[in-house]
Chain A
Amino acid sequence: MTVKEIIEKLDLKCLNEANLDAEIKGAYSSDLLSDVMGNARSGQMWITMQTHKNVTAIAALKDIPAVIIVRGNQPDEDMLAHAKEEDICILVSNEPTFIVCGKLYELIK
């Protein structure tokens, strides 16, 4: 399933359009950055409530095409600017992590 389809099905707000046609086969959910650094795989979506610039630094290094920020949190300005530079899709869900993960799992399992 593509990022674009996931945006529609999960009713996500897209703050930086990038990688919309990327095919998503998996996701990683964690707010611990070293956990993501060590264990997320390239091509996966990342679900988190962290909203600072190191999120996009890690996404860029790990080739993570899209990040979903949960509970309606907004990314910091410098995170969003960095996402534009690095072409990382930034999405916001109003729902909490558990619900987002559950719905995404159902879509791409």
Chain B
Amino acid sequence: MHYTFTIEQGNFTDAGQASSSVKRTLKQLGVDPANIKRTVVALFEAEINAVAHAYGGTIDVDIDDGKIVMVVADQGPGIPNIDLAMQEGWSTASAKVREMGYGAGMGLPNIKKNTDDLKIDTKIGVGTTLTMTVNLV
């Protein structure tokens, strides 16, 4: 099964819709609740990152019997230093984003913790693509 969603820059109001839709689908498919939880935590964080830091993007989710693969590709500024971005507590979020309770530097670490595989392809001035895999078996 394949699902595609669009992410709009700065649109926090609709953030979480993709995660919410994927959660419903996984429930209907009878996926183990622990794996549903991991999947939605990772996808929500990636959605928020794209809304908060990038200039919009797309989410592609593929679900099969063995795994869930989520690709979040943004047209963003890119991540200058991935090691720092993976460090808990490090954030480049704006004051507005921080006021909303984001920008704690926990997004990428949360994604890493909740997925079985995480690939980050980033190019300054072009964008970042996260490929996140949750194994179901």
Say whether A21 faces chain B, with CB atoms less than 8 Å apart.
Answer: no
CB distance from A60 to the nearest CB of B (A): 6
Q: Closest chain A residue to B113 by CB distance?
A: A38
- Chain B residues lying within 8 Å of A62, measured Cβ to Cβ, are 37
In the complex, the answer to whether B102 meets A34 with C-beta atoms within 8 Å is yes
CB distance from B70 to the nearest CB of A (A): 14
In the complex, the answer to whether A58 meets B44 with C-beta atoms within 8 Å is yes
Given contacts A37-B44, A52-B100, contact A60 B20 (CB under 8 A): yes
Q: What 1/0 mask marks residues of chain A from 39 to 81 whose CB sits below 8 Å from any chain B CB?
A: 0001000001010111001101110000000000000001000
- Chain A residues lying within 8 Å of B113, measured Cβ to Cβ, are 38
- Chain A residues lying within 8 Å of B12, measured Cβ to Cβ, are 52-54
In the complex, the answer to whether B19 meets A61 with C-beta atoms within 8 Å is yes
Number of A-B contacts (CB under 8 A): 62
CB distance from A9 to the nearest CB of B (A): 27
Q: Of A31, A52, A54, A61, which contacts B40 at CB under 8 A?
A: A61
Say whether A11 faces chain B, with CB atoms less than 8 Å apart.
Answer: no
Interface size class of B (residues with CB under 8 A): 20 to 34
Say whether B82 faces chain A, with CB atoms less than 8 Å apart.
Answer: no
In the complex, the answer to whether B104 meets A32 with C-beta atoms within 8 Å is yes
Q: What 1/0 mask marks residues of chain B from 6 to 45 whose CB sits below 8 Å from any chain A CB?
A: 0000001101100110010000000000000100110011
CB distance from B76 to the nearest CB of A (A): 18
Contact residues, B63-109 vs A (CB, 8 A): 100-102, 104, 106-107, 109
- Chain B residues lying within 8 Å of A78, measured Cβ to Cβ, are 13
Q: Closest chain A residue to B33 by CB distance?
A: A42
Say whether A33 faces chain B, with CB atoms less than 8 Å apart.
Answer: yes
A-B contact pairs, 24 of them (CB 8 A): A32-B101, A32-B102, A33-B100, A33-B102, A33-B104, A34-B45, A34-B102, A34-B104, A38-B113, A42-B37, A50-B100, A52-B12, A52-B100, A54-B16, A54-B48, A54-B101, A57-B15, A57-B20, A58-B16, A60-B16, A61-B16, A61-B19, A61-B20, A61-B44
